[in-house]
Amino acid sequence: MNYNISKEPIVIQEVIDKVVSRNAGAVTTFIGTVREMTKGKKTLFLIYEAYVPMAIKKLEQIGSEIKERWPDAETAITHRVGKLEITDIAVVIAVSTPHRNDAYEANRYAIERIKEIVPIWKKNTGKMGRHG
Amino acid sequence: MINVLLFAQLKDELGKETLSIEGNGMSVAQLKGKMKVDFQLEGLETVMTAVNEEFADDDTILSDGDTVAFIPPVSGG
């Protein structure tokens, strides 16, 4: 299972281990974390929700799209749901390829596609004004 | 019956995450129109729709047993 939605904290190494391969000369890991300040407003915490079965399908679709563009790439993605505190990990994307340039590009492609097609939402309650 | 799933702000607006609606033979657009009238749900025209976990357009015809999910703009990552 290279594509997961997790209610539990993500263990980065477990995501990386899924893409380690004898053919790989590069593994890139993107770690998305909960940021405290956004445009001058403070986040206290975030709540992520997902349409889980469809979200997993869409993560798998992103993996297929990466395979079409970078046939030698191996991809694993885990996205967290539930309540996340500042600095908590929301998503981990690991991509391995024979050469580094493809690993960077394919990983960037994955996070951009997540933001387009994967049914996951973060609830921005807990945001307060600058002096709140 | 059509199983309707709501997420994010739509779920909060309606106070429910699932509905069962008589809609056999309706298009997605017609279902949206019916929900707008029945529940005063705003903004349904602009959200994406999934039928049976795959994105679908407004012309898609629905059958009993289908699961329709309204997908507000996603914000994962």
pLDDT at A107: 98
pLDDT at A128: 54
Determine which of A3, A51, A113, A114 to mutate to test the interface with B (most B C-beta atoms within 10 Å).
A51
| b/e B3-37 (16+ beta carbons within 10 angstroms → b) | bbbbbbebbebeeeeebebebeebbbeebbebbee
Closest by Cα among A19, A46, A92 to B77: A92
Encode pLDDT of A109-127 as tens digits: 999 999 999 999 999 766 5
Q: Distance (Å, rounded) from C-alpha B50 to C-alpha B47?
A: 10
Q: Do B77 and A114 touch (CB under 8 A)?
A: yes
A129 band by pLDDT with thresholds 50, 70 and 90: very low
Q: What structural domains does chain A harbor? A: 3-128 (3.90.1170.40)
Q: Distance (Å, rounded) from C-alpha A33 to C-alpha A91?
A: 7
* Helix, coil or strand: residue A100: helix
**By the 8 A CB rule, do B52 and B69 touch?**
no
- Per-window interface: A 12-41 vs B, CB < 8 A: 32
Chain A residues whose CB is inside 8 A of the B68 CB are none
Q: Do B76 and A122 touch (CB under 8 A)?
A: yes
ipTM: 0.95
Give the chain A residue whose CA is nearest to the CA of B50: A54
Tell me which of 3.40.605.10, 3.40.50.1820, 3.40.50.2300, 3.10.20.30 is the CATH number of domain B2-71: 3.10.20.30
Q: Which one of B5, B53, B75 has the shortest CB-CB distance to A57?
A: B53
Query: Does A79 lie at the interface with B, CB-CB under 8 angstroms?
Result: yes
pLDDT at A124: 74
Give the chain A residue whose CA is nearest to the CA of B9: A123
What are the φ and ψ backbone dihedral angles of A87, each rounded to 5 degrees? Answer: 80, -10
Collect all residues with Cβ–Cβ distance below 8 Å to B46 and sequence separation of at least 6.
none
Q: Do A91 and B50 touch (CB under 8 A)?
A: no
Encode pLDDT of B8-55 as tens digits: 999 999 999 999 999 999 999 999 999 999 998 888 888 999 999 999
Encode pLDDT of A40-72 as tens digits: 999 999 999 999 999 999 999 999 999 999 999
pLDDT at B17: 95
Q: Distance (Å, rounded) from C-alpha B6 to C-alpha B17?
A: 5
